[in-house]
Amino acid sequence: MKLTINGVERSFDTPPLTTLLHVLREELGITSPKAGCQQGGCGSCTILVDGAPRRACLLPVAAIDGAEITTLEGLGTPEALSPLQTAFHEHYAAQCGFCTSGMVLAAHGYLEAGGTPERESIQEALAGHVCRCTGYVKIINAVAAAAGGEIEATQRWLPQPGEEAPVGIPGAPA
Amino acid sequence: MKAVGARLPRYDGVAHVTGRTMYVDDIRVPGTLWTKALRSPVDHADITGLDVSKAESMKGVHAVVTWKDVPLLEYGHLSGLGIPADEPLLAKDVARYKGQPIAVVAAEDEETAQAAVEAIGLDLTERPALVDVRQAFNSDAPTVHHWGNWYPHFEGEMDRRQIRKGSIAEAFEQADLIVQGVYRPAAIEHVPIETQVCQVVPEADGRLTIYSCTQALYFSMGVVAAHLEVPLNKLKFVGGTVGGGFGGKVDTATETMCSLLALKAGRPVKWRWTREEEFLCSSTRAPWHMEIADAVTTDGWILGRKMLTLHDSGAYARFSPYGLTKHSFHHTGAYTIPNLEFDGYVVFTNRVPTTAMRGFGVTSVSFAVESHMSRIALELGIDPFEIRLRNANRKGDTSPNGIAYTDPSTIPTIQAVADELGHELSADYRTATSEPRTGEWLPEHLVGQLGNPEAH
Amino acid sequence: MTAPDVLQPSSPEEAVSLFEAGVTVIGGGTIVVPELTSGRLRPEKAMLLTGAGLAGITRDGTRITIGATTPVSELVSLPAPVGPCAANVADMEIRAQGTLGGNLCAGEGIEAPRGDLQGAMLAVGATVRSVGAGGETTEPLEDFLPNRKDRLLLDVSFEEPAAGAYAPLIRPHAHDYTALAVSAARAADGTVRLAVSGVAGHAVRLPSAEAKASDAEAASDAAATDVTFADDALASAWYRNRTLPVLVRRALTQLQEDS
């Protein structure tokens, strides 16, 4: 079977009902999607299948043979965060971080499908994602900010050699 | 001091949003074995037989560990605070709660480990179970614990936390009304999105590297060292990256069990709990049963409080005596009550042992105390803000155990809440302060409890 | 470990010819896959329907036909009660993966009732085309449901109702199933059909309430006689008994307003 993951084609041979989550984490070493419940109930395993958010723990790989998969690593890197990743960071939308991968990818799918900053629409898109740390408000703030185009296209957080690391987050909300 | 007042980025924020954060389950060590546990299927039973031979000889199984393999089977996590050990790492003669671990298996993959668990011969003779703390004191109640049905090892071998102040009998006699209430907050499961998980690597030099999701790295290191009877320098703990704990990852035992498996198998071992295990077998916030009877006057003074607390510790003590102790200190809440009779018990039941969770011991009593204040206000027909301000702690008032308050913030807090809600307070209450009681704020019955706020 | 023998038909005809009683059928996988992962289900044979060409919604005048592996998300735009019922299932990601067939054929859940769409489809008088023992059958959904375990559902069809309504107990969270829900529909000829999901076994019609449909109060009082309630992790039988009349009344009131 074949999957294109973050633009790279990977082949693997595994029983057809093996979940995508298992293939990603255990066979391909991509550990950003998490095994929070293995029942589709928490959303921490969500990745993009052909651009749409899906639960990796519920997908038999044979059902998506040949698909394009995007994981959190595929959205941006510490050197070049996507606007949405920047929004999550600036708005303190991650505490322990365990739900973050699923949240960001679901939010990304929402934005790509034309999602607006309207809070109720964001809540509907993220309804399947559980967070035990943040209380959700800052997550919704982050997605709303990204949807509203308030975030610059690229942000760099790692200081260049010789540069002093910035102390505060420029323009972060008080 | 550039950091003060600045909006600082989380040091782990960028890693979180780019998927770089490495939790325990993301660590990859070649040759790692998977762990599954045999757990008690019933609330209470004598273990009359345990046969792991079939499991041990199964293809793909590298180690099976039972109580026999544990150098020190019982170690009290809070023995440093005077709470003796009572809980075996793995059950020996008796299973005291559904889900209690009896044996652990390390195998090549999850299915093999699960099949091995199912191949373990377990003989049980069920015993009656106690699941309601209120029945623990009945003469015909099932016996849960070898110490009896409630914890007997407070200082001086007391079987309860007891606070006596003034004369409750006088207070009840002088009262215009007795207001009673029963408060029973239920157990709460922490539900961290990351379930409990541990990875242990036996190193060539004989040490163990332990990747742990514990909230308390050095604490857990001590626990493992104690059970294994090894010096601390035999262990290297790697941790601090926790996918949510909230108190549920302070009494972890997975590190010890995986260490024993890793030593026996000579291979790295990982154990990741399923969500079902997390819900059914991991420790929870305790359920509490609290009864309060307050002697009150019609103008809203609380003359005395009689209180009984039953704390449901589950099958073993863990941190419950400590939680109850904190609870006891706070049984008057933010209010000054001169006559007190408080008794609190740590009760054992055949349920999953309870543990810490955000403010444990105190959230229960805060809930009960505040609910009761509102109940008193309702029964007396008094404004709920004013009844609180009247009885609020002030400088020089003393706590249940006689310590004088130096800087209580009850009054300004309540006034601020009233402001925020647009709730009108009458003049006296609007201008009340935390200064030592005088005049109308110092009725006769509160004179005797005054202490010296400068005494610290 | 023995993995199941997995059949992957690439056409409806192949799916029909490969189907046999006892094979575990997988539509989207949202219900079956967690059972496989946990080890609660260890089938010898499974059939994955992803590539079997059984998805799609077709209209022939007012008749709507929905293929078995059509994702629940595609039903959201259909008329009430089907549309709102579909929109109330889980969350967006699960709806996009779960299928109509998987939902209708779901076995009784241990902790919570499954198969919300059974109720909505009963209310619109849906018929089911399926294969199994005795070959291919087309029958009313209420006749199919008791035997759903042994059949391969191919498609479901119904006449678009003149009016429809869906009245569920509100779920505390998207990952919860719905404890109880009443679906109502008025056919073109004025007949009102009522059905309830979240009861023991599978969703059922409410004939006693239907007989009094013109009087919402009378109908809501009569409904409980048609139902066997069960306790589960979501709600007790007692609670469902108390709330059924409320939902019947709501559904009928909404139905009035929808016309």
- Are residues B222 and B86 part of one domain? yes
Chains adjacent to B (≥3 CB pairs closer than 8 angstroms): A, C
Say which CATH number the domain at C114 has: 3.30.465.10
With respect to residue A26, please indicate whether it lies within any of the assigned structural domains.
yes
- Are residues B334 and B221 part of one domain? no
Among residues B252, B281, B310, the one where a domain terminates is B281
Roughly how many angstroms between the first and final C-alpha of chain A, as a whole number?
Answer: 49
Say which CATH number the domain at A141 has: 1.10.150.120
With respect to residue B25, please indicate whether it lies within any of the assigned structural domains.
no
Domain range for A124 is: 83-147
Distance CA B217, CA B227 (A): 16
Q: From the CA of A43, how many Å to the nearest CA of chain B? A: 10
Contacts 24+ apart (CB under 8 A), C86-89: C86/C117, C86/C120, C88/C116, C88/C166, C88/C168, C88/C171, C88/C178, C88/C181, C89/C116, C89/C117
Q: Is the CB of C48 less than 8 angstroms away from the CB of A128?
A: no
Q: Is the CB of A96 less than 8 angstroms away from the CB of B7?
A: no
Residue in C1, C173, C175 to test binding to B, most B beta-carbons within 10 Å: C1
Report how many domains make up chain B: 2
Distance CA A25, CA B22 (A): 12
How many CB contacts within 8 angstroms connect chain A with chain C?
Answer: 87
Give the tens place of pLDDT for each residue, B83-138.
999 999 999 999 999 999 999 999 999 999 999 999 999 999 999 999 999 999 99
- Are residues B351 and B288 part of one domain? yes
In B, minimum Cα distance to C2 occurs at B111
In B, minimum Cα distance to C37 occurs at B111
Q: From the CA of B384, how many Å to the nearest CA of chain A? A: 29
Say which CATH number the domain at B184 has: 3.30.365.10
Domain range for C134 is: 5-47+54-258
With respect to residue B18, please indicate whether it lies within any of the assigned structural domains.
no
Q: Where are the beta strands (DSSP E) in A57-161?
A: 68-70
Among residues B281, B305, B334, the one where a domain terminates is B281
- Are residues A87 and A63 part of one domain? no
Instruction: Say if C38 is an interface residue toward chain B (CB within 8 Å).
Output: yes
Roughly how many angstroms between the first and final C-alpha of chain B, as a whole number?
Answer: 32
Among residues B281, B310, B342, the one where a domain terminates is B281
The partner residue sitting opposite A77, judged by closest CB among B16, B18, B275, is B18
**Residue (of C56, C254, C69, C88) closest to C164 by Cα position:** C254
- Are residues A64 and A8 part of one domain? yes
In chain B, residues with a C-beta closer than 8 Å to the C-beta of C38 are 274, 276
With respect to residue B262, please indicate whether it lies within any of the assigned structural domains.
yes
Residue in A5, A75, A98 to test binding to B, most B beta-carbons within 10 Å: A98
- Are residues B364 and B407 part of one domain? yes
With respect to residue B142, please indicate whether it lies within any of the assigned structural domains.
no
Low-confidence ranges of chain B (pLDDT < 50): none
Instruction: Say if A24 is an interface residue toward chain B (CB within 8 Å).
Output: no
In chain C, residues with a C-beta closer than 8 Å to the C-beta of B112 are 1
Q: Is the CB of B109 less than 8 angstroms away from the CB of C38?
A: no
With respect to residue A101, please indicate whether it lies within any of the assigned structural domains.
yes
- Are residues A55 and A36 part of one domain? yes
Domain range for B161 is: 155-188+284-446
**Residue (of C169, C196, C185) closest to C258 by Cα position:** C185
In chain C, residues with a C-beta closer than 8 Å to the C-beta of A58 are 28-30, 33-34, 94, 97
With respect to residue A52, please indicate whether it lies within any of the assigned structural domains.
yes
What residues in chain A have their Cβ under 8 A from chain C's Cβ atoms? 15-17, 19, 38-43, 46, 52-55, 57-60, 62-64, 106, 124-125, 127-130
Say which CATH number the domain at A11 has: 3.10.20.30
In A, minimum Cα distance to B192 occurs at A132
b/e burial code for range C203-234 (CB count within 10 A of at least 16 → b) = bbbbebbbebbeebeebbbbbbebbebeebeb
pTM summary value: 0.94
Among residues A20, A40, A74, the one where a domain terminates is A74
Tens digit of pLDDT at every position of chain A (174 positions): 999 999 999 999 999 999 999 999 999 999 999 999 999 999 999 999 999 999 999 999 999 999 999 999 999 999 999 999 999 999 999 999 999 999 999 999 999 999 999 999 999 999 999 999 999 999 999 999 999 988 765 555 555 566 665 555 555 544
Distance CA B420, CA A173 (A): 23
C-beta separation of B178 from B237 below 8 A: no
Among residues A74, A106, A136, the one where a domain terminates is A74
C26 vs A39, C97, C177, CA distance in Å?
15, 11, 20
Report how many domains make up chain A: 2
Q: Is the CB of C37 less than 8 angstroms away from the CB of A128?
A: no
- Are residues B438 and B308 part of one domain? yes
- Are residues B270 and B238 part of one domain? yes
Amino acid (1-letter code) at residue A118: E
The partner residue sitting opposite A54, judged by closest CB among C6, C38, C97, is C97
Q: What mean pLDDT is predicted for residues C100-109? A: 94
In chain C, residues with a C-beta closer than 8 Å to the C-beta of B109 are 1
- Are residues A54 and A25 part of one domain? yes
Distance CA B429, CA C110 (A): 56
- Are residues B377 and B418 part of one domain? yes
Give the tens place of pLDDT for each residue, B297-323.
999 999 999 999 999 999 999 999 999
Q: Is the CB of A17 less than 8 angstroms away from the CB of C6?
A: yes
Distance CA B415, CA B430 (A): 7
ipTM of this complex prediction, to 2 decimal places: 0.94
Residue in C32, C35, C92, C234 to test binding to A, most A beta-carbons within 10 Å: C92
Using DSSP's 3-state secondary structure scheme, residue B421 falls into helix
Q: What mean pLDDT is predicted for residues C183-191? A: 97
Give the tens place of pLDDT for each residue, B140-154.
999 999 999 999 999
Q: What mean pLDDT is predicted for residues C69-82? A: 98
pLDDT reported for residue C21: 87
pLDDT exceeds cutoff 50 at C1: no
Q: Is the CB of A63 less than 8 angstroms away from the CB of C46?
A: no
- Are residues B362 and B301 part of one domain? yes
Q: Is the CB of A31 less than 8 angstroms away from the CB of B22?
A: yes
- Are residues B200 and B318 part of one domain? no
**Residue (of C92, B224, B4, C157) closest to A110 by Cα position:** C92
Q: Is the CB of B242 less than 8 angstroms away from the CB of A96?
A: yes
- Are residues B376 and B338 part of one domain? yes
- Are residues B384 and B310 part of one domain? yes
With respect to residue A173, please indicate whether it lies within any of the assigned structural domains.
no
In whole angstroms, what separates CA C218 from the centre of its chain? 27
Report how many domains make up chain C: 1
- Are residues A70 and A6 part of one domain? yes
How many CB contacts within 8 angstroms connect chain B with chain C?
Answer: 8
Say which CATH number the domain at B102 has: 3.90.1170.50
pLDDT exceeds cutoff 80 at C259: no
